[in-house]
Chains A and B, each alone.
Chain A
Amino acid sequence: MNGWMILWTVTLVVGVVGFIGLLLTVSLGAFGELRLMLEELREDTRESAEHPEVLDEAT
């Protein structure tokens, strides 16, 4: 196996193993973060609904 093939094999292995790790890490935490995001957006949307005139202010 020449140098290029060693490099490409390492690239493929790191890509696959790293992607498995990332998929697990992100999937486990991202749904909690989504819940927090939606809570913040709900609050923001409620404020916008209470002051609809802001949405019609031209800027």
Chain B
Amino acid sequence: MYKDLDPILHSQLRLAVISILVTVEKADFAYLKNETGATSGNLSVQITKLKETGYIEVNKKFKGNYPQTTCRITELGRQRFVEYVKAISGYLKPG
């Protein structure tokens, strides 16, 4: 079922993360966690997966005593997101 849909994006949380990142310059872990309502563990796993596939860039640094993980979508991620949206709109068209 829906085999031509990108399996990396065809997942609830990863799709939510990419959809947020496509609209902003960059967002940190706390923002993504709050917007998606995901648990830290789950979000961390999905962010790692998106990073490994090259869809997003992850920058980890310390700001004072606070660790800050910032995510930004890559050109590849943006391209795959557009393809994914095209693919699902194909399914949504009547007939």
Partners in one complex: no
Residues of B within 8 A of A (CB): none
Residues of A within 8 A of B (CB): none
